[in-house]
Structure 1
Amino acid sequence: MSQGPGLYFDIGKKARDVLHKDYAQQPPIHFNYKFLNWNLDLTCEEELVYGLRGLFSCNIPDSGKLEVQHLNKFSGFSASIGLSGDTEKGYSPVANISGLIGTRILTMGANLAYDTLERSRTINNLNAGLSLNCPYLVASVTLHDSFQTLKGSCYLEVNPLTKTAIAAEVKYDLADDETSGVTVGAQHALFPWTLLKARLSNNGKVGALIQQKFGRKFSITVAGEMNLNEKAKEKYPKIGVSMALK
């Protein structure tokens, strides 16, 4: 595939992976059995021709999409259509298109999302972003929610051999003129196949996970989260277990 700047959703991805990926988070719509909530992620990717690939992803029963991506040396574009689940509205067809231009060092791009069931028949969400990629530091600034939210993130690689890195993310609400969230986190590989992550948010939520890989295809992740600001009787951790086969 292309060694260009990638896709729009690669902006801030390294920081998001440290702070959010594989933690005990449940999609809005999920299966429930007694005390157990669960869902199933399926992804299929195929290179159609050089520089053009198709991707099908599905989070059962929450959402799914069919996407086409085009990558070249100085740009990356993607278009997708799928269903997005909401506990109140149900499932809505959503079309999405994004573009990114630049080099492997400096990139900028935008993303448009359109809910086909909305009566207003206007763009539902417009995002834009800018990213600076250095050998050990990756910084990004993005505008979300049709430019109502400003998000800044940074990723600092401490030791590539042990995957040791720290990351931070700040959200600023432009409408209310205040900081709406701050999250910091770190990751470290104890062994080549064992990864530890931890994060802390300004709202008192602390999370951690351990991910164990078995070969190159299969991994098991155990993640937990607890809100330190909750009352003593309600202060209990949320535990999640996920398995991935690639």
Structure 2
Amino acid sequence: MAKGPGLYTEIGKRTRDLLYRDYQSDQKFTITTYSPTGVALTSTGTKKGDLFLADVNTQLKNKNVTTDIKVDTSSNLFTTVTVDEPAPGLKTIFSFRVPDQRSGKLELQYLHDYAGITTSIGLTANPIVNFSGVLGTKVVALGTDISFDTKSGAFTKCNAGLSFTNSDLIASLTLNDKGDSLSASYYHTVSPLTNTAVGAEVTHSFSTNENTITVGSQHALDMLTTLKARVNNYGKASGLIQHEWRPKSLFTISAEVDTKSIEKSAKFGLALALKP
């Protein structure tokens, strides 16, 4: 795999993971098992209030081809076939959903030492075409992410991003929502030994003239237990503790409280992931 700027989705990803990943206010249970032939079966159940959602995902790997088939409680069938490196640096992804006949999509990803390109097209008569490209190095990268609807003849998405990365700091700047939203993010590794890091994201909406500021941090109490916390300028404070009680099996408890409305009850979330 090329060691270049990566794909567009990786711009600001470390900050997003720090601030938003694993936070939830629902109850989620995931269990993964493996058959002797190497087939991975993952069952997921999520309780959202009085609503219970579930899905079962089967993954089969054969050399450089990975096939994922998922069925959910709404009787939707999702299929994704990924061919890794049919040519150096290239990845091909074909996906579709049943019964939606317009959901078919073909995606190509290409990674180079100085570029990362993703392009996809819907397999319909009037498809939506997506393109994202990043140029640069592992230190500085500049990219764009656009979508074009061939039926309406209009751009449905037009984003741009810039990132800077060194050994302990990652900074990024993105322009989203067709130029209506500007976001700046920052990630700093304080101590690699304790996995301690801090991060912040500032988003400005030009149409509403509103700013959203979110700051967060993480710290490893030991090799198996991690604490995370975040707060935004609207007074929403969240925290979680995640414990790896056995290899690849995680137990996560999270909570969110509105500091400007203490009379409201806090939201709690619980996630349990089991892997052999």
TM-score where L is the length of structure 1: 0.77
Structure 1: give runs of 5+ residues left out of the alignment: 83-92
Task: Tell me the equivalent position of 1:122.
Answer: 154
- Kept after mapping to 2: 8 A contact 1:155/1:166: yes
- Relative distance call for 1:173 and 1:196 in structure 2 (3 A) is same
2:184 maps to which of 152, 156, 160: 152
Change over 3 Å in CA distance of 1:194–1:112 after alignment to 2: same
Change in Cα spacing, 1:102 to 1:18, as seen in structure 2 (3 Å) is same
Q: Does 1:183 align with 2:214?
A: yes
**Residues 97-136 of structure 1 correspond to what in structure 2 (within 5 A)?**
97-114=131-148, 120-136=152-168
Cα distance, 1:67 vs. partner? 4.0
Q: How far off is 1:156 after superposition?
A: 0.5
Q: Distance in 2 between matches of 1:245 and 1:225?
A: 27
1:142–1:33 CA distance, 2 compared to 1 (3 A): closer
Output the amino acid matched with 2:268: K
Q: 1:139 to 1:228 in 2, by over 3 A?
A: same
Shift, 1:35, TM fit: 3.1
**1:75–1:101: 8 Å Cα contact kept in structure 2?**
yes
Q: Deviations over 1:190-239 (max 9, x none)?
A: 2223222110011111111222235554333332222223361x333232
Higher RCO (CA < 8 A, seq sep 6+): 2
- Return the alpha-carbon distance in structure 1 between the equivalents of residues 52 and 230 of structure 2: 23
Aligned twin of 1:213: 244
Number of matched pairs: 226
What displacement does 1:33 show?
7.0
The one-letter amino acid paired with 1:74 is: Y
| Match runs of 1:89-104 below 5 Å | 95-104=129-138
Answer yes or no: is the 8 Å Cα contact 1:170–1:179 preserved in 2: no
Unaligned runs of 5+ in 2: 27-44, 60-67, 69-81, 97-102
> Which residue of the partner structure matches residue 89 of structure 1?
none
The one-character-per-residue Cα deviations of 1:118-153 (angstroms, maximum 9, x if unpaired) are: x74311111100001111111110001011000000
Q: Give the structure 2 partner of residue 87 of structure 1.
A: none
* Larger Rg, first or second structure (1 or 2): 2
Correspondence 1:199 to 2:226 = no
TM-score by length of 2: 0.70
What is the alpha-carbon root mean square deviation over aligned residues?
A: 3.4
- Structure 2: distance between partners of 1:6 and 1:41: 30
1:225-236 alignment to 2 at 5 Å?
225-230=256-261, 232=263, 234-236=264-266
Q: Decide whether aligned partners of structure 1 residues 33 and 227 sit closer, same or farther in structure 2, where only a CA change above 3 A counts.
A: closer
